[in-house]
Structure 1
Amino acid sequence: MTAPRLSALIVARNEQERLPDCLASVAFADEVVVVLDRSTDASAEIARATGAKVVEGAWELEGERRNTGIAACTGDWVLEVDADERVDAALARAVRATIATSTFAWHQVPVDNYVGGRLIRYGWAGSFGTTSVPRLFLRGAKKWRAQRVHPGLDWTGKEGPKVTEGALVHLVDRDISDMLRRLDKYSNAKAADLLASGNIGSLASNVRRFFSRGFKSYVSRKGYREGGWGVLLALCTGAFPLLSYLKAKLEPEKHGGAR
Structure 2
Amino acid sequence: MRARSVSALVVARNEAARLPACLASLAAADELVVVLDRSTDGSRNIASGALCRGGAARVLEGAWELEGERRNAGIDACTGDWVLEVDADERVPPELWEAVRRVAADSPHGFHRVRIDNHVGDRLIRHGWGGSFGTTLKPVLFRRGAKRWRAQRVHPGLDWTGTEGPPIEEAGIRHEVDRDISDMLRRLDRYSSAKAADLLEAGDIGSLPGNLRRFVSRFGKCYVSRGGWKEGGWGLLISLCAGLFPLLAHLKARLEPERHRTRSTPAE
Same fold by TM-score greater than 0.5: yes
Q: Separation in 2 of the partners of 1:57 and 1:200? A: 30
Aligned to 1:227: 232
Secondary structure at the counterpart of residue 90 of structure 1: helix
**Aligned-residue CA RMSD in angstroms?**
0.5
Other-structure match for 1:147: 152
1: CA distance, partners of 2:225 / 2:168? 23
Which residue of structure 2 aligns with residue 52 of structure 1? 57
Unpaired runs of at least 5, structure 2:
51-55
User: Does structure 1 residue 104 correspond to structure 2 residue 109?
Assistant: yes
> Post-superposition shift, 1:228?
0.4
Q: What SS does structure 1 have at the residue aligned with 2:195?
A: helix
Which residue does the alignment assign to 1:185? 190
Which residue in 2 is equivalent to 1:251? 256
Equivalent pairs counted in the alignment come to 259
1:137 pairs with 2:173 = no
- What secondary structure, in the 3-state scheme, does the structure 2 residue paired with 1:167 have? strand
Compute the displacement of 1:90 (Å).
1.2
Alpha-carbon distance in structure 2 between the residues aligned to 1:164 and 1:40: 36
Residues in 2 aligned to 1:115 and 1:221: alpha-carbon distance in whole angstroms: 18
Q: Residue 164 of structure 1: CA displacement? A: 2.0
Q: Does 1:19 align with 2:24?
A: no
Q: In the alignment, residue 79 of structure 2 is paired with which amino acid?
A: T
Could you list the structure 1 runs, at least 4 aligned residues long, displaced by more than 2 angstroms after superposition. Answer: none
Say if 1:191 and 1:245, in contact at 8 Å, map to a contact too: yes
Measure, in 1, the Cα distance between the counterparts of 2:165 and 2:233.
36
**Local SS of the residue matching 1:158:** coil
Correspondence for 1:3: 3
Deviations 1:183-210 (A, max 9, x none): 0000000000000001110000000011
Identity of aligned residues (%): 68
Pick aligned residue for 2:210 from 173, 183, 205: 205
Aligned position for 2:38: 38
Give the one of 239, 246, 264 matched to 1:241: 246
Deviation at 1:163, TM superposition (A): 1.1
The SS at the match of 2:170 is coil
Q: CA deviation at 1:224?
A: 0.4
Gaps of 5+ in 1: none
Q: Which residue of 2 aligns with 1:216?
A: 221
TM-score of the superposed pair, with normalisation by structure 1? 0.99
DSSP 3-state at the match of 1:166: strand
**Cα deviation code 1:120-148 (max 9, x no counterpart):** 00000110000000000000000000000
